Amino acid sequence: MSARILVRVQKEGFDASAEAAVLTQGRGDIGALVSFTGLCRDEGGVLAALEIEHYPGMAEEEINRAALEAASRWPLEGVVAIHRYGLIRPGEPIVLAITASAHRGEAFAAASFLMDYLKTEAPFWKRRHLAGKGAGDWVEAAAQDHAAAQKWRA
């Protein structure tokens, strides 16, 4: 395994193209780049923002574990995983996962795995802020996310 792994947990936004360029710049062996961006949805207009709490230290470590696991399962040249915290408005990006590989099948599988793993293992919690109402309820974990993560253990 020789994948370059870049993990960050930050308040600021990110530039997916710039992050991808870090992996591909000057390389002639990367044929496939898959980039996943998770965005804040407005839930039909009722959501003013998502507030994302995280466990500093463990969050970075857990995402790093996910990236290492992905790089051990597929022949990857690079992985970028960035997760934001704090107040995030609808339309803004929350999470970025990029995988670079020689071939597309591996890059797609690894990016999908990384997101499934992040969703269920990385210590982040979302709470809704409703339009005109301030802090609202905490988002509940979705059973489908756990089912998605479970399929990689089969």
Partner 1 sequence: MKALYFSWVRERIGKAEEEIVPPENIKTVAELMAWLSGQGENYAAAFANIKTMRAALDHTHVRHDALIQNAWEIAFFPPMTGG
Point out which residues bind a second copy (CB under 8 A). Answer: 15-17, 20, 24, 26-42, 45, 47, 90-91, 102, 104-105, 107-108, 111-112, 115, 148
Least distance to a second copy, CB of residue 58, Å: 23
Query: Rule CB under 8 A: is residue 69 a binding residue for partner 1?
Result: no
Candidates 40, 48, 52, 88: give the one binding partner 1 (CB under 8 A). Answer: 52
Query: Rule CB under 8 A: is residue 33 a binding residue for partner 1?
Result: no
Residue with tokens 């709490």: 53
Judged by beta carbon, residue 7 or residue 112, the one nearer a second copy is 112
Q: Supply the DSSP symbol for 93.
A: E
Annotate 41-78 with b (16+ C-beta within 10 A) or e (fewer).
eeeeeebbbbbbebeeeebbebbbebbebbbeebebbb
What are the C-alpha distances in Å from 39 to residues 16, 50, 147?
12, 10, 21
Binding footprint of partner 1 on the chain (CB under 8 A): 38, 52-55, 57-58, 61-62, 83, 94-95, 104, 115, 118-127, 138-142, 145-146
